[in-house]
Amino acid sequence: MCVMVIDMLKGFLVGMCASAPIGPIAILVVQKSLSKGHMAGFVSGLGASVVDTLYAFIAIFALAFAQKLIEAHQNLILLVGGAVLALLGVIMAFSNPFRKMKDDEDSGVSPTDFGQAVAMGLSNPMAVFVMFTLFAFFGLADSAPHNWRVTPIILSVSAGSVTYWFLLSWMLSRFRKNFKMNTILWISRITGAIIVIIGIALLGQGLVNVFFKGMPIM
């Protein structure tokens, strides 16, 4: 029982650490929190948490299979993932973050906030290796049972991820009133442009592999 509690605490830390790196999803949460408020940012974070939970499951049960699948379809993943990120970045850059805003700071939450984060997370399946690295770092890669008893650990990873996004979106929303609308608009434009650049970079890498290195797409 004591060992399981310790493993659950480790899983909670894995969830927080997996969410912490600055990437497209973090940029999205920042943009949503500043432009639409705490709940919109948190809902986007929940989308990221769903993907983190999925990757935690894969890291425990199916890493070898996922590794072979990613290696076999690396260029396809780069092309599709890069295109998805670039498209989402364009949508962020050219959308009006104030279109659905009301007086209440937590207004304007929509399923799109959740869906965008899920799409961004799934567009980068290589993140599963980050999850596995964290499992190994915290000593969970070998100690975690590969059966239903691992459920509390996976739930702990999810809880850690949810906690991180809740705290981040809450802190960012506290600063929301300190920003002028024009400033938030430019933040949306810049963050969208950054995500477009990341997407184009991934897409470009895939194209280079296919056309210059002769590597097959499938």
The one-letter amino acid at 204: G
Q: Please state the rounded mean pLDDT for residues 63-71.
A: 72
Domain count, the chain: 1
* Residue of 45 and 149 predicted with greater confidence: 45
Residue 20 is assigned to a structural domain of this protein: yes
Number of CB atoms found within 10 A of residue 185's CB: 15
Please state, in angstroms and as integers, the Cα–Cα distance from residue 88 to each residue in 66, 92, 196, following that order. Answer: 25, 6, 7
Rounded distance, CA 50 to CA 54, Å? 6
Give the max Cα distance, the chain. 55
Burial of 1 (0-12, 13-18, 19+ CB in 10 A): exposed
Residue 216 is assigned to a structural domain of this protein: no
The 8-class DSSP code of residue 175 comes to T
92 touches 192 (CB < 8 A): yes
Tell me: pLDDT of 192 over 80. no
Residue 23 is assigned to a structural domain of this protein: yes
Burial of 183 (0-12, 13-18, 19+ CB in 10 A): exposed
- Mean pLDDT of the chain, nearest integer: 80
Structural domain of 128: 2-211
Q: Among 81-95, 110-124, 154-168, name the most confident range.
A: 154-168
Residue 217 is assigned to a structural domain of this protein: no
Residue 218 is assigned to a structural domain of this protein: no
**Taking Cα atoms as reference points, which of 116, 140, 127, 104 lies closest to residue 13?**
140
Tell me: pLDDT of 162 over 90. yes
Residue 93 is assigned to a structural domain of this protein: yes
pLDDT band at 217 (very low <50, low <70, confident <90, very high): low
Tell me: pLDDT of 67 over 80. no
Q: Among 3-12, 84-93, 144-153, 186-195, name the most confident range.
A: 3-12
Question: What residues contact residue 79 under an 8 Å CB cut-off, 6+ apart?
Answer: 203, 206, 207, 210, 217
Residue 165 is assigned to a structural domain of this protein: yes
What is the per-residue pLDDT for 161? 94
pLDDT band at 214 (very low <50, low <70, confident <90, very high): low
Q: Please state the rounded mean pLDDT for residues 50-62.
A: 87
Rounded distance, CA 82 to CA 75, Å? 10
